[in-house]
Amino acid sequence: MKLDAKSTIETGKAILGIELGSTRIKAVLIDQENKPIAQGSHSWENQLVDGLWTYSLDAIWHGLQDCYADLRANVQKQYGIEIESLAAMGVSAMMHGYMAFNEKAEILAPFRTWRNTNTGRAAAELSELFVYNIPLRWSISHLYQAILNDEPHVKDIHYLTTLAGYVHWQLTGEKVLGIGDASGMLPIDTSTKDYSAQMIEKFDKLIAPKGYGWKVKDILPKVLLAGADAGMLTTEGAKRLDVSGHLKAGIPVCPPEGDAGTGMVATNAVKQRTGNVSAGTSSFSMIVLEKELSKPYEMIDMVTTPDGSLVAMVHCNNCTSDLNAWVNIFKEYQELLGVPVNMDEIFGKLYNHALTGDTDCGGLISYNYISGEPVTGLEEGRPLFVRSANDKFNLANFMRAHLYASVGVLKIGNDILFNDEKIKVDRITGHGGLFKTKGVGQRVLAAAINSPISVMETAGEGGAWGIALLASYLVNNATGQTLADFLDKQVFADNTGIEIAPTAEDVAGFNAYIKNYKAGLPIEEAATKCKQ
């Protein structure tokens, strides 16, 4: 019998998903049909401390508690009831990074997020050792860089995990990680669905002269596939999440995952020959492969779906932050004129006006590098807008150049997959803030990667909904379906999305833009060498 939303929550049949994103922590409650019935959120920002991007443990817990309190308040406002119990729950977060703890469970160094690009030497040496691309932001890069730097805390490491793994551990007592998130710590062997034994052996041999009292496998979380038992919410964990004390312990918790994995789930892109593009503060594309690539590429990361299929990931540190900053300039101008401000209207007007500009942006170029960008080889970022005296400088071209810049680096990486590796895809789905203004981001991305792009009505639900779906898969998969079949049949049966195909004119225009963009990269590089 289908229950209404109120009864679903009252009887403990709702499922909770929480995702800790770069700028927002979001909680989503879903019903038995996997549809959202309540939400909560908390805004936060990373801090630059001693040259490294971080969030404090206090910020993590204050954010989680405030997000959950916001969810409770919304449930009380909508339905007039308390959340007492749940059918299941899950936690997701920004992937990669470095959270190292000693045997007393004390953090040994401030959390180092995916955004840090100080691991260049470590990533390069490990890529050569493993004959496998090891990105700057991966946990093994952070660990080895700390070893190269002779950081004294390394000898005391008892447990190393990601942000999602940390929160899950604190809520359940279990030191585990979903395979998708784990694949951003150390490469996964897709035949064993575990960390690569060969690479573990090579790493242990590499650091043996240091004489640490640990082996790398001993300090990493246990790898779990989607649908596996990852523990229960403990009494202590329930109190940490819900400071009001209403939430009861004993709730099944699915394996914690990274935001890339939950993005794949939220866009029904876990099956081979499907893919998705997430475009927000950062951007990344995930293409689920039928086979290994012919060779390693520095700008393509190999990760996995939450059920262990191989994925080619192009990750860009920068996406919409600089674009949003320019939109805010127009907001300020509107306020100066005394015109009431509606941000959705400003975004809508500017984005749609951009489509009236020249397909090559009239020669204008934007570099949206708030932080370093590994794909283009830059360790630091300087946002730049570049034009020559002869370029067509008008508002439409200006906005179009910034929209192109938001997915420009993504195009550079994906050109390798589609042009060099001849990867075939049946469907690519877009999600994230760039696609909020209907049709615009979709058309820009379609032109960038010369592929039809679908956007679903549910795409705005994002990773919190994605991890809630993984929690649902944990408890609602009585027939033993694969994750792909569960999503196809029980979640997305009536939702294939709206598709926009690229036009030849837009593709040619974006190709002309990216040619200028690549030629101008030395300008960006020179700017990063000028200290502000």
**Is residue 218 a part of any domain in this protein?**
no
User: pLDDT per residue over 393-417, tens digit each?
Assistant: 999 999 999 999 999 999 999 999 9
Mark whether 404 and 325 lie in a shared domain.
yes
pTM here? 0.85
Mark whether 508 and 492 lie in a shared domain.
no
State the pLDDT at residue 375: 86
**Is residue 450 a part of any domain in this protein?**
yes
Residue 462 has pLDDT above 90, yes or no: no
Contact 309, 288 (CB under 8 A): yes
Domain of residue 362: give its range.
321-411+504-528
283 vs 407, higher pLDDT: 407
Query: How far, in Å, CA of 94 to CA of 50, rounded?
Result: 21
Contacts for 328 with CB less than 8 Å, ≥ 6 apart: none
Mark whether 330 and 310 lie in a shared domain.
no
The angle, 0 to 180 degrees and rounded to 10, between the axes of the packed helices 504-519 and 440-449 is: 70
Mark whether 473 and 341 lie in a shared domain.
no
**Is residue 438 a part of any domain in this protein?**
yes
Domain total of the chain: 2
Mark whether 420 and 314 lie in a shared domain.
yes
Q: How many Cα atoms within 13 Å fall on the side-chain side of residue 254? A: 36
Residue 494 has pLDDT above 90, yes or no: no
Counting residues of the chain whose pLDDT is more than 70, the rounded percentage is 98
Residue 1: pLDDT band (50, 70, 90) is: low
Query: How far, in Å, CA of 219 to CA of 100, rounded?
Result: 9
Q: Pick the range with the lowest mean pLDDT from 71-85, 97-111, 320-334, 491-505.
A: 491-505
Mark whether 307 and 426 lie in a shared domain.
yes
Mark whether 436 and 479 lie in a shared domain.
yes
**Is residue 382 a part of any domain in this protein?**
yes
Cα radius of gyration rounded to whole Å, the chain: 23
User: pLDDT per residue over 170-197, tens digit each?
Assistant: 999 999 999 999 999 999 999 999 999 9
Query: Residue 297's domain is classified under what CATH number?
Result: 3.30.420.40
User: pLDDT per residue over 331-372, tens digit each?
Assistant: 999 999 999 999 999 999 999 999 999 999 999 999 999 988
